[in-house]
């Protein structure tokens, strides 16, 4: 029995190394969210191997979709639309999700919408909330991006700042790698930093008061590398934890300071935080404290929707579907699709 009035959307996300499928009602009610991680596949290489990622997506996409429908207790005929990430991301990975979504949309005769992965990260703060204040300023800080976006509506996001070099997530991953914490780096670094003393090392806060609303993390990464080389093995116990804590503290300082400064300059009273790095507890705590001190309202994406997931894709997909922004079978992957630019 078709129940399109519930606004059910199936989301499919394969832009990098997680195979994700989810069913969301009315753009905000998550009925299911399946994330099939490939971490164990890439761990021995210390990073994502694109060819392996694509092949694993091929194996896992349909089972993940079936699981998400089963978990939600719905069938294909209940869906109003199918939403798929079209970019940015790894082209081979994107193509697996796109081909799957196009084939299913044709065979189920279901409308298809194309979603921008970075906008979907910013949309994650809408999930589970009946209403979200607009406009608000969103810091989206993930593996490949560090963006400040002015969210005027789910369909109108304007990029006001981004990184001049590395993303914060990339810096977490690289620092974790050369401190020997393993892969994936962000969560491992956070765990080790919790045992360290951030004041044991003085690290720079690059472009904290310059370059407008843009960020830079490559100099900080290099500073950590230099300090690590100075601390030859056999030096005092715990220097790695101290250096991890100092790096995390510097990164959080820059992210929080620049977000608050941008909100002030743009006259925005509400800020939000999303993307994989937004699951970092130090960042969430520092942003919460600073927002409270500044009288800003803060929207935190739920940790399960910070790292890659398809619920954020399905949610934004519903908004696109309602606005009539449909894709067709000619839809192609857009590995470099910038947020705020429509259509792909
Ligand atoms: N607790 C944490 N602390 C710091 N960083 C974290 C934490 N958890 C995850 N990350 C980082 O988040 C990133 C992964 O987030 P996400 O899945 O959103 O990125 P991505 O999809 O690979 O990149 P993008 O979304 O930019 O295309 C990685 O860089 C990871 O190290
Ligand atoms: Mg992502």
CA of 255 relative to ligand 1 center, distance in Å: 15
Atom nearest to 89 CA in ligand 1 = 27
Q: Tell me which range, 21-30, 178-187, 326-335, is most confidently predicted by mean pLDDT.
A: 21-30
**Buried (b) or exposed (e) across 94-127, using 16+ Cβ within 10 A?**
bbbbbbbbbebbeeeebbbbbbbbbbbbbbbbbb
Average pLDDT over residues 252-257: 98
Question: Mean pLDDT over residues 11-29, rounded?
Answer: 97
Residue 190 has what pLDDT?
98
Average pLDDT over residues 239-261: 98
Alpha helices in the chain (DSSP H): 39-42, 50-72, 91-108, 117-123, 168-178, 185-193, 218-230, 239-266, 281-294, 311-322
Nearest CA to ligand 1 atom 28: 143
Contact 88, 116 (CB under 8 A): yes
Percent of the chain clearing pLDDT 70 (strictly above): 97
pTM of the model: 0.96
Spacing, Cα 333 to ligand 1 middle (Å) = 21
**Residue, of 18 and 2, whose pLDDT is higher:** 18
List ligand 1's pocket residues with C-beta within 6 A.
15-16, 89, 117, 121, 142-145, 169, 172-173, 184-187, 190, 275-277, 279-280, 307-308
Q: How large is the average pLDDT for residues 35-54?
A: 87
Pocket test for ligand 1, best of 277, 301, 303, 310 (most atoms within 8 A of CB): 277
Tokens of 36: 């099939």
10: number of Cβ within 10 Å: 31
The mean per-residue pLDDT over the stretch 298-314 comes to 98
What is the band of 3 on the pLDDT scale with cuts at 50, 70, 90?
Answer: very low
């Amino acid at each position: 029995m078709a129940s399109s009035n519930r606004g059910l959307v199936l989301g499919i996300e394969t832009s990098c190394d997680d195979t994700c499928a989810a069913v969301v009602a009315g753009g905000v009610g998550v009925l299911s969210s399946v994330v099939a991680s490939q971490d164990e596949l890439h761990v021995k290489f210390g990073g994502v191997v694109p060819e392996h990622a694509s092949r694993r997506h091929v194996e896992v996409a349909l089972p993940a979709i079936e699981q998400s429908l089963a978990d939600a207790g719905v069938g294909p005929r209940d869906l109003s639309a199918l939403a798929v990430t079209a970019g940015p991301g790894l082209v081979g990975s994107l193509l697996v999700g796109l081909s799957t979504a196009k084939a299913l949309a044709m065979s189920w005769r279901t409308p298809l919408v194309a979603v921008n992965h970075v906008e979907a990260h910013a949309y994650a703060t809408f999930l589970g909330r009946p209403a979200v204040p607009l406009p608000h300023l969103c810091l989206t800080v993930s593996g490949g991006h560090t963006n400040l976006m002015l969210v005027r509506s789910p369909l109108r996001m304007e990029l006001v700042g981004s990184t001049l070099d590395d993303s914060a997530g990339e810096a977490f991953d690289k620092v974790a790698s050369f401190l020997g914490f393993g892969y994936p780096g962000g969560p491992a670094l956070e765990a080790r930093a919790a045992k360290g003393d951030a004041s044991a090392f003085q690290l720079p806060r690059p472009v904290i008061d310059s370059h407008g609303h843009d960020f830079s993390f490559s100099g900080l990464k290099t500073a950590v590398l230099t300090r690590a080389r100075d601390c030859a093995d056999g030096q005092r116990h715990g220097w790695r934890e101290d250096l991890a804590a100092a790096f995390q503290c510097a990164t959080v300082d820059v992210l929080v300071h620049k977000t608050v400064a941008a909100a002030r300059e743009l006259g925005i009273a509400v800020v939000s935080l999303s993307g994989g790095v937004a699951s970092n507890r130090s960042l969430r705590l520092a942003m919460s404290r600073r927002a409270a001190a500044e009288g800003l309202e803060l929207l935190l994406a739920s940790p399960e929707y910070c790292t890659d997931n398809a619920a954020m894709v399905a949610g934004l997909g519903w908004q696109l579907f309602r606005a009539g922004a449909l894709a067709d079978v000619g839809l192609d992957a857009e590995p470099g699709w910038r947020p705020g630019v429509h259509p792909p």
